[in-house]
Amino acid sequence: MENIGFQILPINRRPNKALIERYRHIATPLISDNMSRLQGTYSHIRPFHKSKKITGTAFTVRTRAGDNLMVHKAIDMAERGDVIVVDAGGDMTQAIIGEIMLRLAKKNGIEGFVIDGAIRDSAAFESHDYPCFAKGVTHRGPYKDGPGEINVPITVGNMIVHPGDIIVGDEDGVIAVPLDFAEELIELATEQETKELGMFEAIENETIDRSWVDETLRQKGCAFM
């Protein structure tokens, strides 16, 4: 029998590595534009590392605010290339991870963290350039009592994440791609990237067509004086 609120589940479906690699080279805005611009975390979830992009399989954790017992278990369970995504309720009173957990996760080949909550030892994430997106920083450490859940659907920064989703994060934020739509979305995002590269070239050549701006204004009923 399930113990709702205090349980550990497996990831039943995982994306293949070739598909994850394709997402590694696509910027989050290109993905977001093809998900109706309504998906992804809000802007409070921001990077605390320097430059690395985060791309991998979502290994989800829901924990009680200020408690990281299940995050420790997730570090022991997650596979190489997984992204540990933590719903800590957005609470900022206690840090969910710090440098010790950073080092453990890095040693285990975990891709990084996305945390709707606080971290500490923030300078370590920058110096290691280890991917970590979080809501903020506090020196106050966590408790280790539970409860919590592993590999259940969670909400992080107003974004729904299912275990096995493809997580992509860069300087513009984090987005979760549902596995059922991942093949289609990468094609759409790649097509948009090609289109935008053509637009950049047209801007430089001064051949870009901007007539759509006035046409849209007319359609919206704007008065031209």
How many domains does the chain contain in total? 2
Question: Would 88 be classed as within a structural domain?
Answer: yes
What pLDDT is recorded for position 92? 97
Mean pLDDT of the chain: 96
Residue 225 lies in a domain: no
Q: What type of residue is 78?
A: A
User: How would you classify residue 83: left for phi > 0, otherwise alpha for psi between -120 and 50, otherwise beta?
Assistant: beta
Quick one: tokens of 204? Answer: 């430089």
The pTM for the full model equals 0.94
Q: Tell me how long the chain is.
A: 225
Asked whether residue 148 is assigned to any structural domain, the reply reads yes
Are 21 and 128 within one domain?
yes
Tens-place pLDDT, residues 158-217: 999 999 999 999 999 999 999 999 999 999 999 999 999 999 999 999 999 999 999 999
Q: Does residue 2 fall inside a structural domain?
A: no
pLDDT > 70 fraction of the chain, expressed in percent and rounded: 100
Q: pLDDT tens digits for 105-115?
A: 999 999 999 99
Q: Is there a single domain that holds both residue 60 and residue 21? A: yes
Look at residue 2 and tell me whether its pLDDT is greater than 80: no
Q: What residue numbers bound the domain in which 204 lies?
A: 188-220
Q: Quick one: pLDDT at residue 51?
A: 85
77 and 137 both lie in a single domain: yes
Give a yes or no: residue 27 inside a domain. Answer: yes
> Which segments are annotated as binding site for substrate?
98-101, 120
Supply the pLDDT for residue 93.
Answer: 97
Regarding whether 145 and 34 lie in a shared domain, the answer is yes
Which amino acid does the sequence have at 115?
I
Position 46 scores a pLDDT of 95
Instruction: Supply φ then ψ for residue 32, to 5 degrees.
Output: -60, -45
Task: Identify the pLDDT of residue 225.
Answer: 85
The structure tokens listed for 174 are: 């984090």
Positions at the binding site: 98-101, 120-121
Residue 36 pLDDT class (50, 70, 90 cuts): very high
Backbone phi and psi for residue 15, each to the nearest 5 degrees, phi listed first: -70, 150
Asked if residue 157 and residue 105 are part of one domain, the reply reads yes
Domain co-membership, 108 together with 148: yes
106 and 146, same domain (yes or no): yes
* Inter-CA distances, 171 with 50, 54, 69, 127, 131, Å: 9, 10, 29, 17, 11
CATH number of the domain that 54 lies in?
3.50.30.40
Q: How far apart are CA 152 and CA 55, in angstroms?
A: 20
Q: What is the mean pLDDT of residues 96-101?
A: 98
**Is the pLDDT assigned to residue 143 strictly greater than 60?**
yes
Residue 77 within a domain: yes
Tokens in use for 102?
Answer: 């950073």
Q: With cut-offs at 50, 70 and 90, classify the pLDDT of residue 1.
A: low
- Report the alpha-carbon distance of residue 183 to residue 57 in Å, rounded: 14
- Whether residues 59 and 138 share a domain: the answer is yes
Whether 54 has a pLDDT exceeding 70, the answer reads yes
Q: Are residues 197 and 168 in the same domain?
A: no
Q: Which residues are annotated as a binding site for Mg(2+)?
A: 121
Are both 28 and 116 inside the same structural domain? yes
- Asked, for residue 159, whether it belongs to a domain, the answer is yes
Averaged pLDDT, 13-22: 96
Residue 1 lies in a domain: no
Residues 41 and 103 in one domain: yes
Query: 97 pLDDT exceeds 60?
Result: yes
**Three-class SS state of 113:** strand
Residues 25 and 118 reside in one and the same domain: yes
